[in-house]
Amino acid sequence: MAGAWQKHQRHTRIPPSPDLAPYVEYYWTAEWHYESPYHQLIVPLPNVHLTFRDGRAILNGVRTRHHTKILDGDGQVTGVAFRQTRFRPFLNAPVATITDRELDAAQALPAALSAIPTVPAIEDYLRACLAISSEPSREGAPLTEAAMAAITGDARVTTVAALVGRFGANIRTLQRTFAEHVGVPPKWVIRRYRLHEVTERLAQGQEPRWSALAFELGYADQAHLIRDFKSIFGEPPEYYRQRY
């Protein structure tokens, strides 16, 4: 069940050119063939994406909840996954202004857009956007990047208070810089990565004591853990474990 989509989809990733590597994590393509509609569950991460499909370019802000795309027949989409904290120079506005939104890239980004979604053409487009954009102030960017690295790399970071203690910045400063450079609050990012660790444990065959795990991950109780897990992954953790 869990791997059935692999029979009908093909995915590739391409690394960016060195000059764009500070901004772009990777380029990706997805191709599919379905004889009947397939509901593709998409789990959020704090990355902005730019996608090209059917002659349209769509700017996808960070999603705060899971969502579903319906794939039918034969299709293909090409996309850009921007590095967390590094999309701000393309937008000339706080990244939080596009959170949970899909925008026409021709309206949201400054350069003229080619309809040909080859990776070289996309890279030329991104360079043109950077050349037109006035580089925004880097104020808060180093703090945001360091806090993001701590969240993604250290499972002991379970609360915003842990970031405050580590970096000496107050909560409001962290919230402001994350809105500017990430698009979602630091609390959301922390919960997203700690919940990923739950799926890793489930993948290893562990059957955790949910109340104890909730406390370990910084939740007030088991109910809050299950609620957040369902919001991100589309189903309660126990059902996720049984299926995968």
Give pLDDT tens digits for 35-75.
888 888 888 999 999 999 888 899 999 999 998 888 889 98
Query: What is the rounded average pLDDT of the residues 111-120?
Result: 79
42-62 burial: b if 16+ Cβ within 10 Å, else e: eebebbbbbbbeeeebbbbbb
Q: Are 167 and 81 in contact (CB under 8 A)?
A: no
Percent of the chain topping pLDDT 70: 94
Give me the pLDDT at residue 28, please.
96
Distance CA 210, CA 93 (A): 40
Helix and strand counts by DSSP (H, E) for the chain: 10, 6
**Cα 181–Cα 183–Cα 186 angle in degrees, nearest 5:** 90
Strands in 49-53's sheet, in edge-to-edge order, are 9-14, 24-42, 67-82, 49-53, 56-60, 102-104
Name 189's Cβ contacts closer than 8 Å, sequence gap at least 6: 46, 148, 151, 178, 182
Give me the pLDDT at residue 135, please.
59
Compute the mean pLDDT over every residue in the chain, rounded to the nearest whole number: 89
Q: Which residue has the tokens 């299709």?
A: 75
Name 240's Cβ contacts closer than 8 Å, sequence gap at least 6: 199, 202, 229, 233
184-230 tens-digit pLDDT: 999 999 999 999 888 888 888 888 888 998 998 888 899 999 999 99
Please tell me the pTM assigned to this model.
0.89
Distance CA 154, CA 149 (A): 8
C-alpha closest to that of 184 among 93, 102, 85: 85
Residue 4, pLDDT above cutoff 60: no
Beta bridge partners of 39: 70
